[in-house]
Amino acid sequence: MALALILFFLVAALCLLVLDLYRRSRHTLILQVPGGLRFEAQKFSVQINRQQQDMQVQCSWALLTPPSESVPQQPVQPGAVDHRFAAVGIAVEVRHCEQHQEGVSAPVRTGRFDIVIRDADGTQLTIARVNGAVAASFKYFYLQVRVWIDKLEKRLERERIERLRAEAVEEQARQHAELMAGLRADKPTHEPLSETDCNAMAEAQIASWRQAAGFTGQHSAHHTDPKGEVLWFVDLAADGRITLHAHKQTIHATLLGARIVATMGEIEVGVRDAYWTEDNPDLCVFLVLKGHSVESRRAWKERLEILGNGLAVGSAA
């Protein structure tokens, strides 16, 4: 009798232990931590650090594979891992584990999952054979993380484009200053320029822009200051290509997706530059035709809109 009781309690204790282990294997936590978000499971944890812009993965048993081109090909052994991935460019996949069974042509899902984390340089971490409950919870965690990563990537890309645009504007200003210095080299510095000299300097500036653009517009207009510097310039080809110059900035573009707005005494032309994308839809804006009559500005606006609409229709076809 006593032996039976002992066996009963041993079996009960063993059952409780198994149930506890089963519960622990499926238990997960998603925690708000200072500066980030953390996922905890029995055998691994993943933490997002917003300030460092990275993802830290700690795992008691995983396979960390370095980029194939960085090291000679050699077997990689699984083991304990503590690794940080840059958040930008990271890709995470939760995929079914499958096995082939005799007599069955298609692989059969096992109910387990592999969590694969890969960064932009090709480093890959695989946490193998995670149970379904943990995998589902991790998916939910990563959906939250992905929202932040997408915003981060868009912000960094926007900052990169703004930096490139600023560098391009600075380089244009430098080149234009060199051009103007060359044109003024043989001109008197303290005397007003003659109309002939002003026109010659304007023609030289326009010629340099047309050479860079690779076309000469059918319709053109410009305005020059008393020192011979072109303040604004618009050169429009029949196929919708356009060169714009204003405020020491020049662009060679097309009217596809352009925004044409009549302002007080000017026409505002916004065009796509080389960095324009659907995710970064900012246009480069130029104010031109200042000093032209209302009728002239109206005619230019209609002309620009007709060509822009024609390009839009052709692009959509």
pLDDT given for residue 23 in this prediction: 46
- Burial degree of 127 (CB within 10 A; 0-12, 13-18, 19+): buried
* C-alpha–C-alpha distance, residues 264 and 290, integer Å: 9
Assess whether pLDDT exceeds 70 at residue 237.
yes
Residues facing 33 on adjacent strands: 36
pLDDT given for residue 74 in this prediction: 59
| CATH number of the structural domain 189-316 | 2.30.29.30
pLDDT given for residue 227 in this prediction: 86
pLDDT given for residue 70 in this prediction: 55
What are the tens digits of pLDDT across the range 159-185? 999 999 999 989 988 988 998 888 888
Confidence of residue 317 (pLDDT cuts 50, 70, 90): low
Residues facing 29 on adjacent strands: 40
Identical fold at 27-68+77-99+109-186 and 189-316?
A: yes
Contact 233, 244 (CB under 8 A): yes
Contact 206, 229 (CB under 8 A): no
Contacts of 225 (CB under 8 A, 6+ apart): 231
* C-alpha–C-alpha distance, residues 52 and 36, integer Å: 10
Range in 63-77, 162-176, 181-195, 221-235 the model is least confident about: 63-77
* C-alpha–C-alpha distance, residues 209 and 172, integer Å: 11
pLDDT given for residue 77 in this prediction: 78
> What ranges do the domains of the chain cover?
27-68+77-99+109-186, 189-316
Q: What is the 3-state secondary structure (H, E, C) of 16-39?
A: HHHHHHHHHHHCCEEEEECCEEEE
Which run of H or E residues covers position 242?
Answer: strand 241-246
What are the tens digits of pLDDT across the range 68-92? 765 555 567 789 999 999 999 999 9
- Return the ∠ at Cα 229 (arms to 228 and 233), rounded to 5°: 120
273-297: average pLDDT: 94
| CATH number of the structural domain 27-68+77-99+109-186 | 2.30.29
pLDDT given for residue 16 in this prediction: 43
Please give the share of the chain, as a percent, with pLDDT higher than 90. Answer: 68
Which run of H or E residues covers position 6?
Answer: helix 2-26
272-289: average pLDDT: 93
Confidence of residue 262 (pLDDT cuts 50, 70, 90): very high
φ and ψ of 134, to 5 deg: -65, -40
Confidence of residue 1 (pLDDT cuts 50, 70, 90): low
pLDDT given for residue 214 in this prediction: 97
Kindly state the DSSP code that residue 282 receives in the 8-state scheme: P
* C-alpha–C-alpha distance, residues 89 and 157, integer Å: 12
Contact 239, 314 (CB under 8 A): no
pLDDT given for residue 139 in this prediction: 96
Please give the share of the chain, as a percent, with pLDDT higher than 70. Answer: 87
φ and ψ of 48, to 5 deg: -95, 125
More confident residue, 286 or 183: 286
The label of the residue with tokens 């912000």 reads: 155
